[in-house]
Structure 1
């Protein structure tokens, strides 16, 4: 693993150090042989996997559950009980993403400079308190205000765990790890349906509360508990995690250096990182790709309402939401494994997104329930696969410094969230059962995603060609090829 060159070049004029040269920089590592390094690497990887992965997966599960809980609460009467029109409801959904957008960039730049083990759980407790406040809402205005503050509290979390994952794992490890915690997204949709079946279907009237009020209280309380536990389990950065030994901290930094082509993942100046990210063409390509993927996922806030049009009972509507997301999780892990093994991202995103386009085409074109449900499986699986691999790809192509990577992740996420300002208006109830206007938006997102994948691949190949020329490399030159951009 460690003798392998990693495909990232930051500056064509710099000589990239070999893994042995990187190893010599660390006092506790320089005298270790390959077998000892491999043993130490496995020990560190096991420790990080068992503390970081389960913690952020469960946190992301609760984060996404909090984001989508209003969808099932709507079926249980939230919109009617608060006398909200479709326009007010859509405004409340959009208000969440306005707060989310405002907090993205400053939150992630701040995270790059502080301890994630404090900031991320703190944010989680903040949005959980907002969730518990939701049952006190009595009007559409209150609904919009609570959702706005909830979005503001959640803003640093998703880009933050993306940044953390890319700062702990090597290039070949990154796609699978992101798929693991991104499973929190799909698992939350599965759990949400079962929770809705158990709480929304059975708890109405208890203690004088609506069932949707119990839904928010229970979810918020569990999220607070998870946030408190996360204070003690989450690592910080490779250089300052308290529960690692000096040797483990150094090999963690060594791994990052090898994965970054020898470039130190120092924090860097906040504004310098922001300026570097803005000037990098990859930033804007990934902004467009992320935006397109979120458009392709615009169904997610309305998925329970879409499934309801299939004609199932209320209880079955909650339950049949689970299989598409379960299948999406399995396919996401398989695609991530394949992407990491073959070091390929472009086609691993394009092929699933084509499947999503086929899926939504079925859903908006035929009244056959079986075909529409099969289409929902394709739709969910393809879009969630694409988003997971896009996150891994962007952090691989821009690995350092940390402030630039944090800025790129946040900018791309900010731009993508603008979709939520208008996409809720594409799914009014008067367009039931096919929601063809929303289906058109999803198809447009799928098409743009595929085109932008090609654009990133083309740009990476162009940069690699320039690096070949700078090094005097060709197939018959006898010159050893250095690090390259992966596509």
Structure 2
């Protein structure tokens, strides 16, 4: 926990940042805010540490594992069709490549439509009740996909799964940034973001077990069993989540936190963000207006868009791996190591980002690694070299996305509805890329998928540009803070993070 923080007067950053309304700041210590919390104010320092330790234990070992499982099931339900395609789903539904790509794109139509309103509503609502309901919805639709009999039913199911999944990533980002300090958030986001990466590991392994062994069981195709079993597991996870999630620090029930732990959670976040409470004033949609007026929103949108474009291979990864020339079973199995490498890289690099308080160059370095991997993949047909390239290709965008999200929530931290709106807006804009990227990974492009590779490279370059612009803008804002403090003989206070 940082010792020197921004003073009790907040910076008014909601107006045009060219004319920052800088207010008086003062150097403080964390105990400056304890008088606001009657259950903590008279506690000895060692007692406060014990309360904080118990709070973090509940967050790290109850909240974090559960949201990771929820995200894992969400991503599994999102990408399961990639392996189901190899098991004959596309042929059984009599779908052309174009119609299949339309189904991949239509998921993101629903995903975008639901994201912003649901996230803004959550910022004023009760995540403990809302988030599990979304898991139950997308899991039920996934299980129902076993009854599909035509390409049109595939399009409908993909759209409905997208509607249910759309709000979830912004919701988890919002929740994590409401419970963890800016130093803690990158590593914790890496852990739950593992749900994204791990889904690709487990999807291949599940495909090897289910798609290879359950063909014809109860007169069902193996891909039908694939979606049924994933849907059932997702429903179970959604039910369990009702008892394992908090709301926000100020309104979480005592069944999850004691009153002292609740006050400690609020105190930690108040200290981390320089005395600014995230509890919103005004209506929910005022946060959307504030986010739209903030240049950070549009800078982060460019960065996010580039990283999502760089990740566009994900829905087609099994088909890309298949071009190495192995059997379906071996193709399912060898999908896992590149994603396992991506997971390890994400955790380590995210820890480094949080430890040193730096985001820009961590993202750029990872993205350059992705570019190297893609160039290897599209420039040679040597299976060993191409498989090595897949390791680099997989890790770069995942690392970048994970470090990018806490960068958003740290620099635009208050109020909560604005933070939630920013995350949703940037994610929606980035998701628009899914409306056109699937058409660059057609089977006619095998084995190199050259057009898809060029697309990934373009996404990486866009992401790097977004990083550099954001870093420049942060330095510009911090320079104004430096000038204000020097002019008014104030100690150094809170700063935006690069």
TM-score of Structure 1 vs Structure 2, range by shorter chain: over 0.9
CA distance in 2, matches of 1:24, 1:295: 48
Partner SS state of residue 233, structure 1: coil
CA distance in 2, matches of 1:9, 1:138: 58
Listed one character per residue, the Cα deviations across residues 450-482 of structure 1 (whole Å, up to 9, x for unaligned) are 111111110011001111111116xxx985211
Aligned equivalent of 1:279, options 277, 293, 300: 293
Aligned equivalent of 1:363, options 377, 391, 395: 377
**Map of 1:3 onto structure 2:** 3
CA shift, 1:294, in A, is 0.4
Contact kept? 1:257, 1:263, Cα under 8 Å: yes
**Map of 2:93 onto structure 1:** 82
How has the CA–CA distance of structure 1 residues 10 and 324 changed in structure 2, closer, same or farther, with 3 Å as cutoff?
farther
Partner SS state of residue 207, structure 1: helix
CA shift, 1:51, in A, is 1.1
Contact kept? 1:63, 1:154, Cα under 8 Å: yes
Within 5 A, what are the aligned runs for 1:159-198?
A: 159-198=170-209
CA shift, 1:280, in A, is 0.5
CA distance in 2, matches of 1:418, 1:479: 45
Aligned equivalent of 2:267, options 223, 232, 254: 254
**Map of 1:421 onto structure 2:** 435
TM-align CA RMSD: 1.5
How has the CA–CA distance of structure 1 residues 227 and 14 changed in structure 2, closer, same or farther, with 3 Å as cutoff?
farther
Within 5 A, what are the aligned runs for 1:460-475?
A: 460-472=474-486
Within 5 A, what are the aligned runs for 1:65-464?
A: 65-242=76-253, 243-268=256-281, 269-464=283-478
Partner SS state of residue 39, structure 1: helix
CA shift, 1:15, in A, is 2.7
Indicate whether 1:15 and 2:28 are aligned: no
CA distance in 1, matches of 2:342, 2:489: 45
CA shift, 1:9, in A, is 6.7
CA shift, 1:34, in A, is 2.9
Listed one character per residue, the Cα deviations across residues 20-47 of structure 1 (whole Å, up to 9, x for unaligned) are 2212211111222333322221121112
CA distance in 1, matches of 2:95, 2:6: 54
**Map of 2:16 onto structure 1:** none
How has the CA–CA distance of structure 1 residues 257 and 309 changed in structure 2, closer, same or farther, with 3 Å as cutoff?
same
CA distance in 1, matches of 2:429, 2:233: 31
CA shift, 1:390, in A, is 0.3
Partner SS state of residue 304, structure 2: helix
CA distance in 1, matches of 2:306, 2:419: 20
Contact kept? 1:9, 1:485, Cα under 8 Å: no
Q: How many residues align?
A: 484
CA distance in 1, matches of 2:228, 2:104: 19
Indicate whether 1:36 and 2:61 are aligned: no
CA shift, 1:48, in A, is 1.3
Partner SS state of residue 197, structure 1: helix
Contact kept? 2:27, 2:491, Cα under 8 Å: no
CA distance in 2, matches of 1:390, 1:176: 12
CA distance in 1, matches of 2:398, 2:472: 24
Contact kept? 2:10, 2:275, Cα under 8 Å: no
* Larger mean Cα displacement after TM superposition, 464-473 or 270-279: 464-473
CA distance in 2, matches of 1:132, 1:49: 30
**Map of 2:19 onto structure 1:** none
Instruction: Specify every segment of 5 or more residues in structure 1 that has no aligned partner in the other structure, as ranges.
Output: none
CA distance in 2, matches of 1:10, 1:129: 46
Listed one character per residue, the Cα deviations across residues 118-171 of structure 1 (whole Å, up to 9, x for unaligned) are 111001000011001101111111100110011001111111001000000001
Contact kept? 2:197, 2:343, Cα under 8 Å: yes
CA distance in 2, matches of 1:217, 1:64: 15
TM-score normalised by the chain length of structure 1 = 0.97
